[in-house]
Structure 1
Amino acid sequence: MSANKLNAVLLAAVLGCAMSVVTSQHLSRRLYYELEKEQKLEKQLQVEFGQLLLEQSTWGAHALIEKSASARLAMLTPNQRQVYVITPEGVR
């Protein structure tokens, strides 16, 4: 093999390696950007989840349910004579 052919093969190999490095760096940067974007979204979703848990506990509060039932549905708390407890043996 002559020196010119060897130089051409080596040049092609060096250019191929250089292109490979550039491509892998570009891919690495793009994937890192995607990772950062997904981590930011995860933080936002965690905040929203915390807010929803707080809202759920607020809506689940007994006093709020009772107030809403009386105000919106005109429901009243029954007196003791109107309450029947059903057990496996029957009504008490």
Structure 2
Amino acid sequence: MHLLGNKLATLPKEIGQLRNLEELHLHYNLIITLPKEIGKLQNLYELHLVSNPLSVKERKDSEVSPKMCNILGLVKSGIVW
């Protein structure tokens, strides 16, 4: 699914119902946090978040586990730990 540059600030929690989703491209949006339901996407192998103002204040409360960071390509996302 390609949702590049749509000025999205959030993703709906229903995103977790897209169980067969393999790619999610969210470059150049306004996403600050990801819903915990993103963890239900077991077939997701590409999640692109470049140029989003992501912020994870506490790792233990984060929707994104630290071991997923390599998969998510967070290096260029400007994520704040």
TM bucket (normalised to shorter chain) is under 0.3
Q: TM-score, normalised by structure 1?
A: 0.14
Larger of the two Rg values belongs to structure: 1
Q: TM-score, normalised by structure 2?
A: 0.15
